[in-house]
C-alpha cells in the first residue's frame, strides 16, 4: 500500500492505531472505526478498507 507516506504495514498501523485501538473489542466496532479513520486520514486507501480491517483485526488478536 503506497499512500501519503505509508511505506508498509508498520507505518499503516502506527498511523491508524491511536484512532482504532480503543475500538478493538469486536470486529464490527474495529471495522467501523477503521473506515472512519481512513476517511479522515487516508481516504485514498478506502477501497482497501476490507483488507486493512482484516489486517488490523489480526494485529489486535480479534477473531472473525
pLDDT score, position 36: 97
Residue 14 buriedness (CB in 10 A; 0-12 / 13-18 / 19+): exposed
5-30 residue pLDDT tens: 577 888 999 999 999 999 999 999 99
For range 25-50, the mean pLDDT: 95
Q: How far apart are CA 7 and CA 28, in angstroms?
A: 27
Q: How far apart are CA 22 and CA 45, in angstroms?
A: 21
In whole numbers, what is the pLDDT of the chain averaged over residues? 89
pLDDT score, position 9: 87
Amino acid at each position: 500500500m503506497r499512500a501519503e507516506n505509508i511505506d508498509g504495514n508498520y507505518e499503516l498501523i502506527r498511523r491508524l492505531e491511536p484512532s482504532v485501538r480503543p475500538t478493538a473489542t469486536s470486529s464490527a466496532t474495529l471495522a467501523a472505526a477503521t473506515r472512519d479513520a481512513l476517511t479522515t486520514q487516508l481516504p485514498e486507501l478506502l477501497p482497501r478498507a476490507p483488507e486493512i480491517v482484516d489486517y488490523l483485526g489480526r494485529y489486535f488478536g480479534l477473531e472473525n
